[in-house]
Amino acid sequence: MKRENEVYTDFVNRMTYGEYLQLDTLLSSQKRLSDHHDEMLFIIIHHVSELWMKLILHELHAAIDSIQAGKLEPAFKMLSRVSKIQTQIIHAWDVLSTLTPTEYMEFREKLGQASGFQSYQYRMIEYALGYKTKHILEIYKKDESLYSTLQTALHEPSLYDVSIQALAAAGLEINPEILHRDVSKTYQADVSVELAWLEVYKNVDKYWDLYELAEKLVDIEDWFQQWRFRHMKTVERIIGHKKGTGGSAGVTYLKKVLDHQFFPELWEIRTKL
């Protein structure tokens, strides 16, 4: 253990904590467009959420690669981490909900048409989970590099696509049309996939890794739907049923997406077990 007089204090030629984290860049990014006190809260909540989403994508992409390589166990840790991150994003809405409608209206017009609906990282998370919406890509044409990145993500297999491939690799019968489907389209439930997951849940000892994978997927979708719900209720609390700044239907749109399931068969089999 270092004594107090051995603590490093000379950083002329050493990297500091702030330099490692590039805190000058990070902490100078919160630039209010109004003089209203609460705009700082609004900006920081969205910055924090985007940082967590960056880590979610980092973990999801690594998990997809791991499952594709037939290495399910390393993916479990990554997917568990995603679920824990999701809880943090959910709690962020609790902080934002301290913003009242009157306070938000003081600076809302400064946002112009900018909206969280346009978050490209959120879109990439949806794509990684299998919810593919091509028409939304029009939003991102302003940035050619970003548009190209999103196009690539649109055409990559999702977490569920590679999980279904893992079912087939384990000898479970999967409809060939599902195994060779156009992954740029949103996944639709298939009977063969449902029967395969049923077999896994009825024979846990035989298919332990696939059973673990299935439960990790359910965790992620469960938390994602809770995130969607908290988002919807926070928006409803602050702006009611007004349109979003980006032109979306606001609360109406957020309620509609609550009905979408990323991994439909994993929810359906719970009734049939």
Question: Which stretches of the chain are DSSP H helices?
Answer: 17-21, 23-27, 39-68, 72-96, 101-105, 120-129, 144-154, 159-169, 176-179, 191-202, 208-239, 251-257, 264-272
What is the distance, to the nearest Å, from the Cα of residue 35 to the centroid of all Cα atoms in its chain? 32
User: Does residue 132 surpass a pLDDT of 90?
Assistant: yes
136 annotated as belonging to a binding site for a ligand: no
Nearest CA to 262 out of 227, 222, 212, 235 is that of 222
181 annotated as belonging to a binding site for a ligand: no
* Per-residue pLDDT reduced to its tens digit, 140-174: 999 999 999 999 999 999 999 999 999 999 999 99
User: Does residue 1 surpass a pLDDT of 70?
Assistant: no
User: Does residue 2 surpass a pLDDT of 60?
Assistant: no
56 annotated as belonging to a binding site for a ligand: no
CB neighbours (10 Å) of residue 154?
18
User: What's the pTM?
Assistant: 0.92
* Per-residue pLDDT reduced to its tens digit, 174-214: 999 999 999 999 999 999 999 999 999 999 999 999 999 99
104 annotated as belonging to a binding site for a ligand: yes
135 annotated as belonging to a binding site for a ligand: no
64 annotated as belonging to a binding site for a ligand: no
pLDDT, position 109: 92
155 annotated as belonging to a binding site for a ligand: no
User: Does residue 55 surpass a pLDDT of 70?
Assistant: yes
